[in-house]
Structures are given as C-alpha cells and as structure tokens.
Structure 1
Amino acid sequence: MSNFQSKAIVVFSGGQDSTTCLFWAKKMFDEVEAVTFNYQQRHSLEIDVAKKIAKELDIKHHLLDMSLLNQLAPTALTRENIDIELKEGGLPSTFVPGRNLLFLTFASVLAKQLNAKHIVTGVCETDFSGYPDCRDVFIKSANVTINLALDEEMVIHTPLMWLNKMETWKLADELNGFDFIKNKTLTCYNGILAEGCGVCPACELRKKRPRRLFES
C-alpha cells in the first residue's frame, strides 16, 4: 500500500538506476508515469528498452523530443565518432552538458499538466562519474528554481543519491526487482542489453553487486 495519496513522474531511460527508481516509485506512490527523452542518443535501443519496460510494468509512458540537445552538446553519448573515455582531471566524454537540467525542467512541465507533484530521478552523487548535474546540491537548486518558475510545490526525489552501486543492487532486490533489472535494462555505453559489454565505465559500475546477488 502506498504511503500517501500521490502521483509521480519518473525520469526514465530504461537503465539500471532509472528502472530501480521506477520500482521504488511504484511502491511509494499511488500513481506512477514515466517520461523518456529522445535526444538522438548514441543508442536508439535505449528508447525501445524504456518503452518495453514501461509496458511490461503497466506504466503509462511519455516520449518527448529533445533533439535540440543533440545539436548543442556533441559528446560520446550523442556522437558515435567520439570515444567513450574518462578524462583525467576533467569531465568524462560521456557528460552531456545541461541534460539533467533540461530533463528535470521538461519532466516538471509534464508533471504540472498531469497534476503530479513528485518527480523521481536516478541521479547519484556516490557513483556519479564526475557529472556535476548528478550532485545533490544541483538537484536541490533545480527543485527550488522549478517551483518558482511554475508556481508549484513539486518535490524531486533522488532515492539513489547516497547509495553506491552495491547498495543500489540491494535496493532493487528489496523491491523485488533484481532479476528484472539484471536481465532487462540497458545501462551499457556500448548499447548491449543486460550484462552489457563488461568493460565500459557504466558496466564496470554495474558489476558492483553483492556476491549473493551476483550468483543468483
């Protein structure tokens, strides 16, 4: 049973973190919908996976066009000719400037139209690869700005903010979503479903599972 009468919008990519958040939101809120953004990302399979997961979990799914972001932000996640790499002393080549700011803004506009007061996103400051728009201070700032801009009292929830990847897997297990997330999500930067390529930065983080769950 939900903790309170409420409706939430989950920013949803079809990856491990956002799918864990989807399971979390289903437990916490009475009504849940998901929104995915098409910014012509490196792997269009990401959108197909998000659609499939939302359908399987019986979640109403919205797909919004964010193609302008692709034009403005050439990175390894928007250009196939840019290598995926961690830059020493700088931001990873996978960082898409402004992405989470735009996602939260448009998710909030959608939430206002749907009379939802809660937005859920899977950003995390513990295992965040150096992305500045995954920090708690950014989320709090964005929440204040969005509420002022829309004259609303929305709450941005970040259930993974202070969890490392092992703890995120534990949460997925507690939500009865471990096997689903392990086998049906797309987190790999090289666009390989489930276990992924095993070598990209996203897959290296994904492998940090408790041994008991790893062997399940």
Structure 2
Amino acid sequence: MYSNWRIKELKDELRKRGASLRGKKADLVERLELYDQNFNFDRPDKADNEDPKMQLPLSETYRDINSNTILPPLDKTMIRHYLCYTQKKIDTVVRLYESRHLLMARASVVGDNTFVKGYCRKTMKSLQYEVDIVLNINGNPEASHCECPAGSGTNALCKHVAVLLFGIENMVREKILLLQEVCTQKLQQFHVPKKLYTGTPVKVEKFYRRKSNPIFEPYPLKNIKKI
C-alpha cells in the first residue's frame, strides 16, 4: 500500500501520527506498516487532548468595568466556596490584588450570565495571562479559564482567576477596582525639590563672586626670542 506513495506523502502521514521522519523510503514504509499493525501504538488523537474552551461572547460586546457597571452580587463567601482555598492562600491572593497585579477588567452581559474578562500580570516575569470568568445572576462563579498552565479547562482555580474574582468583589462592595497604574496616571514630581532648605537667608554681599580672570598669554612676549 505505502510502497506506491511518494516520500513527501509518507512523511506527511508520519507527521500526522507523530512518528520519526528519518531514514530512506523503505524505512518510512516499514514504519507506517508497523503503526498500522499496532493500531498506531494506541496513541490518543490530538483532539482528545485539546484544552476545552469556554463559549465566550464577541469581544465587541465587552465594556470596561467602572463604578456605573452593573455586576452580580459576588461576595467573599462565594469566592471561598468556588476556589476552596485556605485562609493563608486567600491572604496571598489578596496581597497580589492589592499590589495591582490586575491589568484590565471588562464585562459583557448575555442573558442571565455576566462574562468577565481580565488580564493578570505574572508574579515573577513581565508576562500577562488572559482570564475569563462566568457569573450567574446570583453572583456565583460557574466557569473560569486562564491562559496559565494551571488554568486550563473550564474550571480553573489558579491565582490569576482568584485575583480577578477579588477585583470584581471589591468593585461590587466599594465601587473601586485596583488596576496597575501607568506612567501618565501619576503626577510628575521631577521639579519638586527632594529636601527643603531650612537654613537662614544669605546676604547678597556674602554671595560668592567669580573673580575676573586677566588675559592670559601662554607665551609672554618677553620670553619669545626675536628672530
């Protein structure tokens, strides 16, 4: 069967099965025949190992979360039940949120569900992960997903999901969302002196005056030999 195939076709078939592409044509044909005899060595299909994705609304429907945004009544008790975190781990997540690891948060309402999308900064490196959370009308989290290795699937419980949940809870409770500040949000202070002068005023006659330098001749005329 495979002996009539071209080398390119043989390599494409081996590449689909995740097999080695080394060797001559006879080696490639033999390798494919062995794969057929052993039922592809019981390798699962790639489709079975794919990370399940959440059904999210269009990106155009998301709006930035502010004090006028209507959000479900999420509280800390719901967050603890969903994450199943210990108090020590919750304190760690709260410190991450208070240190402004959350970069952005947007929301989209579809029916009775509220979809929240956020970007959370990584702890050690200058990377960011996209986080998606679905809240029902009562505020209970129903699904979550994160781009980090620990946040795969539709029920992610990583710290980035927890940071976004605490951000939503803080917005519901105090109408405040702590996001990472950019350089234009802070008032410039470079013209303000670091230390105030506490000494007595100096009189004008005590100011240092630069002495007038006389004309300096590197080679005085009297030292120059006349020719």
**Does the pair score TM above 0.5?**
no
Relative to its length, the structure with more helix (as a share) is 1
Q: TM-score, normalised by structure 1?
A: 0.23
- Which protein has greater RCO, CA pairs closer than 8 Å, 6+ apart? 1
Q: Which has the larger radius of gyration?
A: 2
